[in-house]
A and B are shown apart, each in its own frame.
Chain A
């Protein structure tokens, strides 16, 4: 018995490990989500939660059915393949019921610069400018029609009101 007495403190330290391990196992039961691992190394319930999110984007076909004038203008210009909601933001609520909300007009200084600010990382052929030097203190839409941005391309009657004046 005295033989054990002199090593008993070591068992006490080992006991710490056992306790820590048990605590780990118990906590694990509580913090690991129930559906974890059902399909793979993730929480299966996440799929349902994500699917339940309300849809925020309407898609360009929806916009075009009402704003056909703008759709026509846009189809002829360089922004033909830029989606309406890439500039206007998610507008499903508006498309479902236009009277429920009127979209705010985008701030072109932020919007256009996001895609067109010159950067060495962009392909050479992509139109890019240094906004501060280029715009001369007036908003982009003073000279460019956002829906058909080439200069002088948009004097038709379908042009956006913000085009060249």
Chain B
């Protein structure tokens, strides 16, 4: 059979988890990362990232709405997927995910965004006309109270929500790593470090995504990029990236030192089938290069333009690198035989339900969601407010 080397059990020859299952942890990761970035401002009071706070929340929401779609495309009978939530089984990690997802969506993200925007929503519901007026009216939930005291209360509640949101974001993404890490039958996945590594790489990729989106959106609006903010974001990205990198190396060293019975087979795979996506893309281009570049921006003195370019380059490389990491986990884990005697090949389809086009569409879709959200809830201060605020 083409694409098979050595011995494969018959049920291992074709991969059942396709590129969409790569996309899914990638996108939930972006959500978690974007949210953590937002919480920097809210909980840790990092003032520099203020300009990006709302954008980060909206980005998280846009990607969160997209996150379950790859799974729906992957299912043979998506119309039955709700059954899992009506008759959940306690041992089903997938069912639990649905609840964590709903919790995170409604109790954390939507609630926090609502609290933060309530004043604007009420004002907009009074100023706008026609359909938009109705939409904003519904969003106020019938309460027009924007008194000083109520807004102060919102502020406090928002802080608590963010506080709860951080562990929730960890849970949401930790669960994705958990699903892989808890599969004791697969030595490539089975590792308690998996959820942790997933969370940290998620943070890095989410921060990179928000940073890039901020720079792009600001450019499109012909505004000036707030370099103090971007510098701060890049700095946090750098620090978290270092933790992420050390964790991944720890995992690697641990595997090499432990060298259990699967090691030779996996090692061979990394040097052949996964060479490009793991060594070249993930480790070299996606990790070492951006780490070194970010390090240089931290120690060296660069002009604004140079810094911007470096950040854009690093952000893009990080996004590629983290995607490659998800790819290597999901696809890599299915390429080798349980007999450790053979390897198969993943053949990505193009126009099928789980093919490349579907994957590209599902990657672009959240940007469309974001566009709608930005139209509905503009994160930047209104013109006149901006001018008033320019003084400080």
Chain A positions within 8 Å of B, measured between CB atoms, are: 5-10, 12-13, 16-17, 20, 27-28, 31-32, 36-37, 41, 117-122
- A120 touches which of B7, B83, B150 (Cβ 8 Å): B7
Alpha-carbon separation in the docked complex, A6 to B150 (Å): 5
With A16-B106, A16-B141, A120-B1 already in contact, 4 other A-B pairs whose C-beta atoms are closer than 8 Å:
A6-B147, A41-B87, A41-B89, A122-B10
- Which 9 residue pairs of A and B lie closest in terms of their CB atoms, listed nearest first? A9-B143, A6-B150, A119-B1, A12-B141, A121-B8, A6-B149, A120-B4, A121-B10, A28-B86
| A-side contacts of B157, CB under 8 Å | 10
Q: Is the CB of B87 within 8 A of A121?
A: no
- A32 touches which of B8, B87, B106, B141 (Cβ 8 Å): B87
Give the number of residue pairs across the A-B interface with Cβ within 8 Å.
63
- A5 touches which of B13, B89, B145 (Cβ 8 Å): B145
Which chain B residues in 6-54 approach chain A with CB under 8 Å? 6-10, 12-13
User: Smallest CB–CB gap between B189 and chain A, Å?
Assistant: 22
Alpha-carbon separation in the docked complex, A28 to B141 (Å): 26
Q: Is the CB of B4 within 8 A of A12?
A: no
User: Smallest CB–CB gap between B292 and chain A, Å?
Assistant: 42
- Listed A/B pairs (13) with beta-carbon separation below 8 Å: A6-B153, A7-B153, A9-B118, A9-B150, A12-B142, A13-B111, A17-B107, A27-B86, A31-B82, A32-B87, A119-B1, A120-B8, A121-B1
Chain B positions within 8 Å of A, measured between CB atoms, are: 1, 4-10, 12-13, 82-83, 86-87, 89, 106-107, 111, 114, 118, 141-143, 145, 147, 149-150, 153, 157, 342
Q: Is the CB of B150 within 8 A of A12?
A: no
Closest to B5 in A: A120
| A-side contacts of B9, CB under 8 Å | 121
* Most chain B CB atoms below 10 A, which of A13, A16, A31, A32: A13
User: Smallest CB–CB gap between B340 and chain A, Å?
Assistant: 14
Closest to B343 in A: A120
Given contacts A5-B145, A8-B145, A28-B86, contact A13 B7 (CB under 8 A): no
| A-side contacts of B143, CB under 8 Å | 8-9, 12
- A10 touches which of B7, B106, B153 (Cβ 8 Å): B153
Alpha-carbon separation in the docked complex, A75 to B57 (Å): 72
| A-side contacts of B12, CB under 8 Å | 121
Given contacts A12-B142, A31-B86, A120-B4, contact A17 B106 (CB under 8 A): yes
| A-side contacts of B89, CB under 8 Å | 41
* Most chain B CB atoms below 10 A, which of A17, A41, A121: A121
Alpha-carbon separation in the docked complex, A154 to B4 (Å): 36
Alpha-carbon separation in the docked complex, A116 to B42 (Å): 65
Alpha-carbon separation in the docked complex, A8 to B342 (Å): 64
Closest to A7 in B: B153
Alpha-carbon separation in the docked complex, A53 to B141 (Å): 53
| A-side contacts of B342, CB under 8 Å | 120-121
| B-side contacts of A27, CB under 8 Å | 86
* Most chain B CB atoms below 10 A, which of A9, A13, A32, A119: A9
| A-side contacts of B107, CB under 8 Å | 17
User: Smallest CB–CB gap between A30 and chain B, Å?
Assistant: 10
| B-side contacts of A20, CB under 8 Å | 106
